Amino acid sequence: MTTIIIVVLFLAVAAYLYKDSKKSKAPAPTAKPFPCVIEGSIDAPPMDERVKALAIEAQSKGITITGDYAKDVAAQGGEMYLAGSFRFDFDDNGNVRGDSWMKIFSDVKYPITGSMAADGTLGMDCSVEGAIINIRGRVIDGKLTNGRMFKSWLPHIGGVLNGVIK
């Protein structure tokens, strides 16, 4: 009888501890990713995305794709991606400030507008001679992840942001 009481008591304590361990624990508060400065390059997207963009543009222009990438690029008048460099400067509230810019295929610094949310999500734009370039991505654990920029009117044409947070 004593053994049964001990076993029941043991099972009750084990069940209580198991149930208690399953309670959700509040995540530890994390620091906002700003203020900060992110600088880096705008590079070509992966080849499969470039081929897709080339095909979409060719179709819209009535150009036949040959399958020879170099020839198809030449027929289009150039690659179908954006490249250059950037600098994003965020204030204490995550808003873009001061010396924030993008250079796309030139040395012209086009101004950036927008902000970074408290969770690190980028929501910014750049006006390049009146054409809007959308800038997206996220800062997680001090690193820029999934950084992309693309033409708002031709979302299949864009570039990859590779940046360092300072």
Domains in the chain and their CATH numbers? 36-165 (2.40.128.120)
pLDDT at residue 9, rounded to an integer: 40
Cα 94 from Cα 115, distance rounded (Å): 5
Q: What is the pLDDT of residues 121-137, one digit of tens each?
A: 999 999 999 999 999 99
Predicted TM-score of the model (pTM): 0.76
Q: Look at residue 1 in the predicted model and tell me its pLDDT.
A: 52
Residue 26 φ/ψ, nearest 5 degrees = -65, 135
Report pLDDT for 95.
98
- Per-residue pLDDT tens digits for 5-46: 443 444 444 455 555 544 444 344 467 899 999 999 999 999
Q: Are 166 and 39 in contact (CB under 8 A)?
A: yes
Residue 144: its pLDDT value, please?
Answer: 95
Percent helix / strand / coil, the chain, rounded to 5: 25, 40, 35
Is pLDDT of 108 > 60? yes
| Per-residue pLDDT, 31 | 77
27 or 55, higher pLDDT: 55
Please give the pLDDT value at position 50. 92
Question: First and final CA of the chain: distance in angstroms?
Answer: 69
pLDDT in tens, 133-165: 999 999 999 999 999 999 998 899 999 999 999
Report whether pLDDT(116) > 80.
yes
Helices (H) and strands (E) in the chain, counts: 3, 8
pLDDT for residue 86 is more than 90: yes
Average pLDDT value for residue range 103-129:
96
